[in-house]
Amino acid sequence: EIDKEKGVIIEELNMYEDMPVYKVGWDFEQLMFKGNPMALDQIGLPDVINNMTTAKFKDYQQALYTPENTVITVSGNITPEESEKLVEQYFTFPSTTKSRTGIPFEYSEISAVNIRDKKTEQAHLIIGYPGYDRENEKRYAESILSIVLGGNMSSRMFLKIREERGLCYSVSCSTDRYTDCGTFSTRAGVALDRVEEAVEAICAEYDRVLTEAPTDEEIQDAKNFLKGKIVMRMEDSEEIASFLGSQALLQDKAQTLDEYFAKIDGVTKEEVLEVAQEIFNNKKRSMTIIGPFGEKQEVFEKLVRG
């Protein structure tokens, strides 16, 4: 089974290599987390995959797939007692003295540009900054800022870059948070002959937030959008389990939905601006791009650094 799965995983890896819309995200993480295991692709490297043995697999499983490292979340029409009985029946495995460890991450103060020179029909790019980790109290304001800038069809990036200037089909902002680090980024797919204009426009919208702070209306609309989006997700029992389980695994405490919404409602205009001022530092702004741009390194570096 191990040998058979190796081929499946290698083909999955090859599939993503041929999909720039996914590959650019991996490139961005490698750029932002350079020098740390966070920069490694989850799927693994071909040499590592091909050299995997049953013995190595079992050693890894026995070392880390243990009660101490496990969170089981149950959501649905089931009682706590029934859940506990099922867990005890199907998830009994030996304990271990080995705990999860990690290498603390420290961001570079230097912005960077990474070009994957490749013939494509469209340029795929991500421009972003270091953000907040999963437990930083400023993460709520960061989420609001992300929506104001590029979270929906009424966001600043969408209206300015797509609707007004027609530079791309898709443009969106997102935040990714981990236990001790995170990112704030904008992703876009752009026509090859307008990519420099698009990079300049995205960077300009980042900079504009610092001089034209989000209005009360923008912030309230973002709060309503975020809460509505989450309520829709919570219609699915699996999403409820994921919402609570990921917090229990990676944070000190799992928030309820009401607690989370209270935090979102409590975000002020001043806090959103403070987050923008803290994150949007041109010295930390970086970009990854995929397309036929092998000779554009200096051009892109100048645009990104402002």
pLDDT tens-digit readout, 240-278: 999 999 999 888 788 999 999 999 999 999 999 999 999
Is the pLDDT assigned to residue 104 strictly greater than 90?
Answer: no
| Angstrom distance (rounded) from CA 132 to CA 295 | 33
> Rounded mean pLDDT of 7-20?
93
Reported confidence tier of residue 121, pLDDT bands at 50, 70, 90: very high
CA 168 to chain centre: 21
Structure confidence at residue 99 (pLDDT): 62
Structure confidence at residue 102 (pLDDT): 72
> Rounded mean pLDDT of 100-105?
73
Structure confidence at residue 60 (pLDDT): 86
Beta partners for residue 130, in sequence order: 183
| Angstrom distance (rounded) from CA 30 to CA 25 | 9
Intervals of CATH 3.30.830.10 along the chain: 113-305
pLDDT tens-digit readout, 131-179: 999 999 999 999 999 999 999 999 999 999 999 999 999 999 999 999 9
CA 142 to chain centre: 13
pLDDT tens-digit readout, 58-94: 888 888 888 888 899 999 999 999 999 999 898 877 7
Residue 128, SS3 per DSSP: strand
Q: Identify the architecture of domain 113-305 in CATH.
A: 2-Layer Sandwich (3.30)
Reported confidence tier of residue 98, pLDDT bands at 50, 70, 90: low
Mean pLDDT of the chain: 93
